[in-house]
Amino acid sequence: MDWTTIDACRTSTELPRPVEIRGWIRTRRDSKGGFSFLEVNDGTSLGNLQVVAPAELENYAEEIQKLTAGCSVVVQGELVESPAKGQATELHANSVRVIGRCDGETYPLQKKRHSFEKLREWSHLRARTNTLGAVMRVRNRISQSIHRFFDDEGFNYLHTPIITASDCEGAGEMFRVTTLNLEKLAGSNRPFDTKQDFFQKPTHLTVSGQLEAETYATALSRVYTFGPTFRAENSNTSRHLAEFWMVEPEAAFYDLHDNMQLAERFLKRVFSDCLSHCGEDMEFFNERIEKGKIDQLKSVIEKPFEHMTYTDAVERLLACDEKFEYPVEWGTDLQAEHERYLTSVVGGPVILTDYPSSIKPFYMRVSDDGKTVAAMDVLVPGVGEIIGGSQREERLDVLQRRMAEGGLDESEYWWYVDLRRYGTVPHAGFGLGLERAVQYVTGMANIRDVIPFPRTPGNAEF
């Protein structure tokens, strides 16, 4: 490869020098002075590189003056310091080779600004727009940062199964996975036989890799998953997807305190990496999507997270003057409006802990009071819960009692229970929804705009 990315051209200080760039036209403007200005983008940065194409070029009238948004070009020339405001460099073209044309009549991304909703119909093209391009670069940076953080902390990246016969939380609708022919099945009047299916038993798409991650945490000490998870819920909201990516660290010998510290270090590292690696994109979000986002993230990075027990949170909610739609009562789940209130009075992230055991899953460790579990939720302003986690129940007898209370069949979880039989250890972990994190960092309002190809009820095009 002997071409240079536009990002590298725009920030180059080694000037002047000959370069070749390869990208797509964003705009063309013909000057009366006998040249055209081409704004070229290759997705390596939000901003374009300005190409100055003189009329002397042999294909000037034939091709260059016909360039429209979306055309692909290869440009060779001299990269020089730009006299214009708002750009450090520009490219004086010796040749502009047109690679692919783009019909201005039918190209969806022409001229006018489109709503995010409209852009979703063109998921195959929308990353060519400023906002979606920036979102996807930030999403990449967050993902890279996640891997580097856990690698640095000695966690092993673990691939837990996507197709599973178990159900992590006994909650959440699941997608069925099958090789049976549904069309034929519907037409037959034979009784259903699960033994005929690929796995010879009912299987579903995972809702969480946590239980499997616990098995590896008791072998390798520290592991994390980072993979797709699924909910077959008929929710058409701006906060829900049927398919989304989740990060789930799990660490042996961690208690709730270690877990909270890990979550705080983790989020701060991710936010820092976005600010330091995606400066231009973050400026864009700060100006166009959510004013003040950069200062907000900086303040989150600098200050220790506030901690609050669920019981204290309930007291604060009961004592405040706010009118809530849902009543607040100890022993019921907090609603989004309650979480919003708490993050707004705190003025930043808050970690809620020690929830009632009655509203939390069987695997969370029961505290000495017998009423609460060692759970933690990290709430952030705007998005609400971004992380949910807990210390896990490591005592065999308590776990068995909780499973029985929850109506779970212990024989289906024999391998999970085994971990408490053979060298059990205190351990803890949490889950971060990647899309929620991207939303928080970018300020994007709809979760469908922070994942490349969103999956929601009725939507699986592409």
Q: Of 312-371, which residues contact a second copy (CB under 8 A)?
A: none
Nearer to a second copy, 16 or 161 (CB): 161
Q: Give dist(CA 383, CA 292) in Å, integer.
A: 15
Nearest to 383 by CA among 332, 325, 441, 422: 441
Paired residues of 226 in beta bridges: 247
Nearer to a second copy, 183 or 329 (CB): 183
Which one of 47-55, 157-165, 373-381, 402-410 is the stretch in contact with a second copy (CB under 8 A)?
157-165
Nearest to 351 by CA among 307, 384, 304, 386: 307
* Count of residues that bind a second copy according to CB under 8 A: 113
Tokens found for residue 219: 């072998």
Nearer to a second copy, 193 or 321 (CB): 193
Q: What is the phi-psi region of residue 459: left when phi exceeds 0, alpha when psi lies from -120 to 50, beta otherwise?
A: beta
Decide: helix, strand or coil at residue 274. Answer: helix
Q: Judged by CB under 8 A, which of 52, 252, 297, 428 binds a second copy?
A: 252
Nearest to 48 by CA among 39, 57, 56: 39
In three-state form (DSSP H/G/I as H, E/B as E, the rest C), the secondary structure along 296-329 is HHHHHHHCCCEEEEHHHHHHHHHHCCCCCCCCCC
Interface mask toward a second copy for 415-434; x: CB under 8 A:
xx-xxxxxxxxx--------
Q: Give dist(CA 47, CA 379) in Å, integer.
A: 33
Q: Judged by CB under 8 A, which of 216, 285, 362, 440 binds a second copy?
A: 216
Restricting to residues 34-73, which ones interact with a second copy according to CB under 8 A?
Answer: 42-44, 70-72
Sequence-separated (6 or more) residues with CB below 8 Å from residue 389: 259, 263, 375, 376, 377, 428, 429, 430, 431
CB of 333 to a second copy, least distance (A): 25
Q: Judged by CB under 8 A, which of 339, 354, 393, 394 binds a second copy?
A: 394
Nearer to a second copy, 328 or 403 (CB): 403
CB of 171 to a second copy, least distance (A): 16
Binding flag, residue 235, a second copy (CB under 8 A): no
Nearer to a second copy, 144 or 299 (CB): 144
Q: Judged by CB under 8 A, which of 149, 245, 266, 305 binds a second copy?
A: 245
Paired residues of 372 in beta bridges: 356
Q: Judged by CB under 8 A, which of 192, 324, 326, 330 binds a second copy?
A: 192
Do 48 and 89 meet the contact criterion of CB atoms below 8 Å apart? no
Q: Judged by CB under 8 A, which of 54, 227, 356, 382 binds a second copy?
A: 227
Nearer to a second copy, 232 or 445 (CB): 232
219, with CB counted inside 10 A (0-12, 13-18, 19+), is exposed
Q: Give dist(CA 161, CA 155) in Å, integer.
A: 18
Which one of 58-66, 182-190, 317-325, 384-392 is the stretch in contact with a second copy (CB under 8 A)?
182-190
Q: Judged by CB under 8 A, which of 190, 321, 323, 407 binds a second copy?
A: 190
